[in-house]
Amino acid sequence: MPVLIMLFAVFFNFVNGFINGYWLGNFSSYTNEWFFDFRFILGVVLFISGFVINKYHDKILISLRKNSTNGYQIPHGGLFRFISCPNFFGEIIEWAGFALLTWSLPSLAFLVWTFINLVPRAIDHHKWYKSKFPDYPAKRRAIIPELL
């Protein structure tokens, strides 16, 4: 991995962590009723679902590397049946849930920033898979089932 990409990732996480932490620590005013609000409950469900989707598919990708002679294989199982980057899809769902459960502009900014970062990467991954594997599933999309 190039050092510049690592530095961008550190910067991305620093800025997002700071603005979300600063907002939560200084401006948020959640009451106990908020924990029973539909937005909070749905946000928690989405956050946990996205986290599970992300980690499950990361585990599939890691296992492919361990079981390959050249390091590259077509991933199968789970949401790989429909999309090339279900781990990215899960991360977007995760942060959409966080934006919903906090109902704040900083968390919405984090979601938008994550979406803008991961969708082009997923499209590039999808194109790479299609160029390297002639038998790559034709109906598989990049990141959003049946759409993109």
**Whole-number Å distance between alpha carbons of 93 and 88:** 9
- Find out whether 146 and 89 touch, Cβ atoms under 8 Å: no
Classify residue 128: in a domain, yes or no.
yes
Domain count, the chain: 1
Residues in the chain: 148
Ramachandran angles phi, psi of 141, nearest 5°: -95, 175
**Whole-number Å distance between alpha carbons of 39 and 48:** 14
**Residue 120 confidence (pLDDT):** 94
Predicted TM-score (pTM) above 0.85:
yes
**Residue 1 confidence (pLDDT):** 65
Q: Is 141 helix (H, G, I), strand (E, B) or coil?
A: strand
pLDDT (tens place) for every residue of the chain, 148 residues total: 688 888 988 998 899 999 999 999 999 989 999 999 999 999 999 999 999 999 999 999 988 877 666 668 899 999 999 999 999 999 999 999 999 999 999 999 999 999 999 999 999 999 999 999 999 999 999 999 888 8
Classify residue 103: in a domain, yes or no.
yes
**Residue 68 confidence (pLDDT):** 67
**Residue 5 confidence (pLDDT):** 83
**Whole-number Å distance between alpha carbons of 43 and 51:** 12
Classify residue 140: in a domain, yes or no.
no
For 38, the domain range is: 3-132
Classify residue 145: in a domain, yes or no.
no
Classify residue 59: in a domain, yes or no.
yes
H or E stretch covering 101? helix 86-102
Q: Which long-range contacts (CB under 8 A, 24 or more apart) does 14-19 make?
A: 16/106, 16/109, 16/110, 16/113, 19/106, 19/109, 19/110
Classify residue 137: in a domain, yes or no.
no
Classify residue 142: in a domain, yes or no.
no
